[in-house]
């Protein structure tokens, strides 16, 4: 009985082993079967137009899952692709069919109609791999400017305006005829909401001085009082500061040398205006020349190739009420250098706007002797010389000259806020070069 029991235990153990091993063997067989099924000796490993210099650097992606071949970076606008032949490699190949016609590997083909059908047959003729080939070509001129109105509900203020980009969207201040200001905000630059009237301000406010440094807003009045606020709605007087004549906005500091600061103009010890920078208190610089604009100027900020912040300023009116000439620049706010003498007449206008876009400086709008124009001007040397932008880059959708507007550039978009064209305009325009969004 003992031997019989031993034998039965052995048979049960063997059965258990078989019950465990057999599924494993079947599983391995299934895996091998899947691997054989997935193998395809006709799949392509490379596709491109290497023999054509204009397209040799454009990479084509061979997707053997979705069976597509395409260039993610499209060929340039108006590229001719109706007579080309590709270079391709495959695991093996005995025959290639393109649009159902056998290809000899040398003839030029028309790739202008997408998709183009491509089938490769393996050398043993057991496998085929079929693809849809997309030769993508830009359908828009990359150098053309697109312009459209994105809002007709922008508040049409009575006087001058300033627009700031904030963490929550955009903030606009408008001067009123009684010297007060009205505030509006928007999350998307399209829908605008009136804010509670700012409190803590007094006197005739210079709305064009509104600016922000780090998390604090600043604003001055005609008496030279400086105000600050954390939310642009509740303001307090900044005690112990100089008489502020103008604020140009923030100036980025130099690494290990200077901090970020506000730059502007204050009354000097002799009562004459001088350039200055504010870092909790004012540091005074050079006396402001008579030829320097005091109001209505256009200002842009950028960085040198070494990362040093600078500001450019042009146009506007001098203290004598004359149209200012010349182009001015600073890297510290204490000293402004005159870069162009005499200035191009293009810049001799009031309440225009200049802005950097696509590594070039642009000027648009403004008025001179009551006249305006719609022409966009461009400079390749930071404003030393100007020329009209090509017709395809003009703001052609804007048919009236505008002054007193504000232009902000962000995320490859140019946004034009309000301004006046005889009367105040309630429009926000959005513009971009096609190439910026490719």
Q: What is the pLDDT of residue 258?
A: 67
- Looking at the domain assignment, is residue 370 inside a domain? no
Whole-angstrom Cα distance, residue 218 to residue 133?
A: 58
Beta strand 273-278 pairing with 282-287: antiparallel
Is 252 domain-assigned? no
In the sheet that 145-151 helps form, which strands lie side by side, from edge to edge? 145-151, 428-433, 413-417, 406-410
**CB-CB contact of 354 with 296 (8 Å):** no
Higher pLDDT, 388 or 437: 388
pLDDT surpassing 50 at residue 322:
yes
Q: How far is CA 7 from CA 4, 12, 13, 14, 155, in A?
A: 5, 9, 10, 11, 98
Q: Give the integer Cα–Cα distance in Å for 9 and 370.
A: 110
Does the pLDDT at position 7 exceed 90?
A: no
What band does 25 get if pLDDT is binned at 50, 70 and 90? very low
Asked whether residue 395 carries a pLDDT value surpassing 50, the answer given is: yes
161 domain residue, yes or no: no
Percent of the chain with pLDDT over 70: 89
At residue 438 the predicted structure's pLDDT band, cuts being 50, 70 and 90, is low
- Can you tell me the distance from the alpha carbon of 405 to that of 407, in angstroms, rounded to the nearest whole number? 7
Structurally, the chain folds into a number of domains equal to 1
Is residue 408 predicted with pLDDT exceeding 50? yes
Chain-centre distance for alpha carbon 203: 38
22 vs 169, more confident: 169
In the prediction, which pLDDT does 157 show? Answer: 67
Of the candidate ranges 95-109, 150-164, 206-220, 408-422, the one whose mean pLDDT is the lowest:
150-164
Res 30: pLDDT: 38
5-14, 87-96, 380-389: which is most confident: 87-96
Mean pLDDT of the chain: 87
Q: Return the minimum-mean-pLDDT range out of 46-60, 148-162, 295-309.
A: 148-162
| Joined tokens for residue 331 | 């890297």
Q: How confident is the model at residue 196 (pLDDT cuts 50, 70, 90)?
A: very high
What CATH number is associated with residue 95? Answer: 2.60.40
Per-residue pLDDT for 136 more than 80? yes
First to last CA, the chain: 87
Structure confidence at residue 15 (pLDDT): 40
Kindly state whether residue 438 falls inside one of the protein's structural domains.
no
**Domain-located, residue 70:** yes
Cα angle 138, 413, 408 (rounded to 5 degrees) comes to 160
Average pLDDT for 106-115 = 93
Nearest-5° Cα angle at 9, 6 to 15: 145
Residue 35 is predicted with a pLDDT of 41
CA distance 357 to 128: 50
What secondary structure letter does DSSP report for 132?
Answer: E
In percent, the amount of the chain with pLDDT more than 90 equals 70
pLDDT in tens, 238-261: 987 799 999 999 998 776 556 789
- Residue 76, domain member (yes or no): yes
State yes or no: pLDDT of 34 exceeds 50. Answer: no
d(CA 410, CA 257): 28
Average pLDDT score over residue span 310-332 = 93
pLDDT of residue 421: 87
* Integer CA distances (angstroms), 366 to 147, 190, 277, 312, 319, in order: 19, 24, 28, 17, 18
List, for residues 38-81, the tens digit of each pLDDT value.
Answer: 678 999 999 999 999 999 999 999 999 999 999 999 998 889 99
Over residues 264-293, the pLDDT tens digits come to: 999 998 889 999 999 989 999 999 999 999
Instruction: Determine, yes or no, domain membership for 189.
Output: no
Q: Would 114 be classed as within a structural domain?
A: yes
What pLDDT sits at residue 177? 81
Lowest mean pLDDT among 43-57, 110-124, 304-318, 342-356: 342-356
Q: Is the confidence at residue 22, as pLDDT, over 70? A: no
Range of the domain at 70: 44-134
Could you read off the pLDDT of 341-364 as tens digits, one per residue?
655 688 999 999 999 999 999 999
Given this model, what pLDDT does residue 216 score?
94
């Amino acid at each position: 009985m003992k031997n019989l029991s031993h034998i039965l235990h052995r048979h049960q153990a063997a059965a258990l082993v078989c019950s465990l091993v057999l599924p494993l063997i079947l599983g391995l067989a299934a895996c091998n079967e899947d691997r054989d099924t997935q193998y395809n000796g006709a799949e392509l490993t490379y596709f491109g137009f290497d023999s054509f210099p204009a397209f040799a650097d454009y990479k084509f992606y061979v997707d053997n899952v979705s069976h597509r071949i395409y260039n993610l970076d499209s060929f340039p606008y108006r590229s001719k692709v109706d007579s080309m032949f590709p270079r391709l490699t495959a695991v093996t190949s005995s025959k290639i069919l393109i649009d159902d016609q056998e290809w000899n590997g040398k003839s030029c083909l028309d790739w202008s109609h997408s998709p183009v059908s491509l089938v490769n047959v393996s050398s043993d003729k057991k496998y085929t791999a079929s693809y849809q080939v997309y030769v993508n070509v830009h359908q828009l001129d990359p150098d053309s400017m697109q312009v459209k109105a994105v809002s007709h509900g922008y508040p049409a203020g009575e006087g001058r305006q300033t627009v700031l980009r904030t963490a929550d969207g955009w903030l606009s201040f408008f001067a009123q005829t009684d010297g007060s200001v009205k505030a509006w905000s928007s999350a998307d630059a399209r829908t605008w909401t009136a804010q509670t009237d700012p409190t803590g301000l007094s006197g005739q406010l210079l709305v064009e001085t509104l600016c922000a440094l780090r998390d604090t807003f600043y604003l001055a009045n005609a008496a030279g009082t400086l105000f600050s606020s954390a939310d642009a709605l509740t303001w307090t007087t900044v005690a112990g500061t100089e008489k502020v004549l103008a604020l140009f906005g923030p100036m980025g500091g130099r690494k290990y040398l200077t901090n970020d600061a506000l730059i502007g103009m204050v009354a000097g010890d002799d009562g004459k205006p001088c350039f200055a920078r504010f870092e909790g208190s004012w540091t005074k610089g050079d006396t402001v020349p008579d030829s320097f604009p005091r109001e209505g100027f256009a200002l842009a900020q950028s960085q040198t190739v070494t990362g040093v912040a600078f500001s450019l300023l042009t146009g506007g009116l001098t203290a004598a009420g004359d149209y200012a000439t010349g182009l001015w620049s600073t890297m510290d706010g204490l000293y402004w250098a005159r870069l162009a003498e005499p200035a191009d007449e293009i810049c001799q206008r009031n309440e225009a706007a200049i802005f950097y876009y696509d590594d070039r400086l642009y000027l648009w709008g403004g008025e001179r002797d009551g006249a305006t124009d719609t022409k966009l001007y461009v400079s390749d040397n930071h404003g030393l010389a100007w020329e009209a932008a090509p017709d395809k880059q003009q703001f052609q959708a804007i048919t009236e000259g505008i002054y007193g507007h504000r232009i902000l550039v962000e995320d490859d978009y140019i946004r034009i806020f309000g301004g006046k064209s005889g009367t105040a305009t309630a429009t926000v325009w959005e513009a971009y070069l096609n190439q910026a969004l490719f």
